[in-house]
Amino acid sequence: QVQLVESGGGSVQAGGSLRLSCATSGDTMSVACMIWFRQAPGKEREGVARVYRITGTTAYADSVKGRFTISRDNAKNTVSLQMNSLKPEDTAMYYCAAGSYGSKCDLGDDSGMTYWGKGILVTISS
């Protein structure tokens, strides 16, 4: 089992920055990838950014490319999401998710993830 706890959410004005963190514990060696998802009110959940635990290889949704940066610190068992140039449309609940080895680790498919955090709210005002 792997436990995930998000932190760092809050409210900022458009153009501002926030940094989300996801602390992982438990059987972290079983994790192949980490993805940040988000879900805005009335919308489907979408994958925002992915990082592979061993290689550090990243991928981003087009909507955040160039503004968000995902990183991992395996020594501290944390994954972070640096969000810059925030827009009102970035307002959502943000979830940290972990995929075990064999998981799809696909930004477009949240059903492939094994473990989920409870989520944290990010609100961007115009």
pLDDT digit string (tens) for 88-100? 999 999 999 999 9
Query: What is residue 88's DSSP assignment?
Result: G
Question: For residue 54, what are its two tokens?
Answer: 């061993």
**What pLDDT digit, counting tens, does each position of 16-57 carry?**
999 999 999 999 999 999 999 999 999 999 999 999 999 999
What pLDDT score does 44 carry?
96
What pLDDT score does 66 carry?
98
Backbone angles phi, psi at 30, to 5 degrees: -85, -5
Residues 104-125: what's their mean pLDDT? 95
Do the beta carbons of residue 12 and residue 124 sit within 8 Å? Answer: yes
What pLDDT score does 49 carry?
98
Average model confidence (pLDDT) across the chain:
96
Q: How far apart are alpha carbons 53 and 38 in whole angstroms?
A: 20
Residues 115-124: what's their mean pLDDT? 98
Q: How far apart are alpha carbons 13 and 44 in whole angstroms?
A: 24
